[in-house]
Amino acid sequence: MLKSFSLEGKTAIVTGAGRGIGKAIALAFAEAGANLLLVARTEEQLVEVQKEIGNGRTHYAAADITDREQVKKAVGKALGEFGAIDILVNNAGMNIRSKADEATDAEWQTIMTTNAQSVFIFSQEAVKHMHAGGSVLNVSSVAGVTALKTGVVYAASKAAIIQMTKVMAMEWGERNIRVNSIGPWYFKTPLTEPLLDDEEYLNAIKAVTPLKRVGELPEIASPAVFLSSDAASYITGQTLFVDGGMTIHGFS
């Protein structure tokens, strides 16, 4: 049974792999035995993650995941290095915090393109080369299902990912390619540190989280390994909220 949790011999692409949740997932995938292509905009970050993994089975592609031609090149590099693509993790994302009546057209375009359209583009290009047994894992957010202070545009982009996950799973299931997503709440990352350093805000987060704490990065990486492995071979179209129970309450 434990062998089904291994990613040994599988090739995975992880976007947004230079820091935070993407880096944590990449490190966990490497530990589980996967060949890796790390993708992010910043090459310096990718070099550091590659060095940290240091297994000789990890390569990287600096790319803008909203640009289809650059995505195609990244996919081509994975195929060139490893000959196959078994797993895609669409993790890259961003936010600009604006209230609903203040968000601009430019903010909408930037957030939706980076968070949602990139999932669509990268999934299309990677799945072309996946065989039966392949897996796509999209990183959404609890913001996709409940009201947060992260802003309406971010929430819309993450809800879009959840719905894309369902439709892609339905369409690609005939080819035995699974599509799932995970919905994190607050985790300790470089992007969330400024918010979590605010004691009042941190206490508000804990107040609506039944486990009364924010998540540690290994706690999001482990579910990512599970959903991408053969141990989850009969799970598709689902969103697993890794949130300490927060979605029971919401956070308005």
H helices of the chain, in order, are: 20-31, 43-53, 68-82, 105-112, 118-127, 152-172, 193-196, 199-207, 218-228
Give this prediction's pTM.
0.95
How far apart are alpha carbons 117 and 42 in whole angstroms?
A: 20
What is the three-class DSSP state of 229?
coil
What are 10-49's pLDDT values in tens digits?
A: 999 999 999 999 999 999 999 999 999 999 999 999 999 9
For residue 228, what is the DSSP state? Answer: H
Mean pLDDT for back-to-back runs of 10 residues, the chain (252 residues): 92 97 98 98 97 97 98 98 98 90 95 97 98 98 89 96 98 98 93 90 93 95 98 98 88 59
Pairing of strands 58-62, 35-40: parallel
How far apart are alpha carbons 86 and 81 in whole angstroms?
A: 13
Q: CB–CB of 206/212 below 8 Å?
A: yes
What are 147-156's pLDDT values in tens digits?
A: 888 899 999 9
At CA 83, angle to CA 79 and CA 87, rounded to 5? 70
> Which domains, ranges and CATH numbers included, belong to the chain?
2-189+216-242 (3.40.50.720)
Q: What is the pLDDT of residue 202?
A: 94
Q: CB–CB of 104/98 below 8 Å?
A: yes
- Give yes or no: 60 in active site: no
How far apart are alpha carbons 39 and 34 in whole angstroms?
A: 15
Amino acid making up residue 56: G
How far apart are alpha carbons 252 and 249 in whole angstroms?
A: 9
Q: Which of 60, 154, 186, 201 is catalytic?
A: 154
